[in-house]
Amino acid sequence: MTTTSQGTDAVRVLQGLEDPRSSVRLQAALAAGTTPDARFVDKLVERCATEPEFFVREMLTWALTRHPASATLPELLQETRSERAQARSQALHTLSKLGDRQAWPAITRALLSDADDEVARSAWRAAVVLVPEGEEAGLAAVLATQLGRGERETQLSLSRALVALGEVVLPALRAATTAPDRRVRTHALTTERLLNDPDAGFESAVEEAKRVVALGGHGHGHGQELEREQKG
């Protein structure tokens, strides 16, 4: 392929990413990932912040993962500090897909407790992927401050993140089972149940946790008592 034709193709991709038709934007993102070019990185990152269609955003993220981390990381790290929630969320999502632990310092407490649920959920997923060995307990303690937050999808995301960290989360979970807030206690017990029984469904774990809390329980022993009651 000649330099001229490569330049023409690059222009076509960059224009396609701005097209009002989502199908054209999708094809442009696919092309950008299929034939990576440093000229695409800025536009891909910029588009992530504003793209309204989920499936196009996923293709944009895939295209970014196809480019060298040396080109994408600085841009993505800058986006995590954007005032636009979607920019922060999508940058974090892309960082979780890249899996480059150089990005770990960008996963701040502020992002892990971001007021926007989508940003926080993306931060939780990225944190679990990027956390350095030996820092899992510290991450678990920060994540535990978010227990009881939001609706089902948000709570499920947090439970999954905590479970992914393994048994290192137990001290933080057990401390949360004595919290004054009933929602926090219920969510902590739900997550502990999922950690102990990965095959348990989220809904059944929530219902069991609610029963434990309703019975005045707040700790592991009460969970065992409830299991005995159910079996008996």
Sign of CA dihedral 153, 199, 143, 148: positive
- Helices (H), strands (E): how many in the chain? 14, 0
Query: What pLDDT does 8 receive?
Result: 75
Residue 99 falls in which region: left (phi positive, over 0), alpha (psi -120 to 50) or beta: left
Query: What pLDDT does 198 receive?
Result: 73
Query: What pLDDT does 199 receive?
Result: 66
139 Cβ contact list (under 8 Å, min separation 6): 127, 128, 131, 165
3-class secondary-structure state, position 190: helix
The answer to whether residues 98 and 107 touch, using CB atoms and an 8 Å cutoff, is no
Residue by residue, pLDDT tens for the chain (232 residues) are: 455 556 778 999 999 999 999 999 999 999 999 999 999 999 999 999 999 999 999 999 999 999 999 999 999 999 999 999 999 999 999 999 999 999 999 999 999 999 999 999 999 999 999 999 999 999 999 999 999 999 989 999 999 999 999 999 999 999 999 999 999 999 998 899 888 877 666 665 666 766 767 666 555 544 443 343 334 3
Query: What pLDDT does 141 receive?
Result: 96
Length of the chain: 232
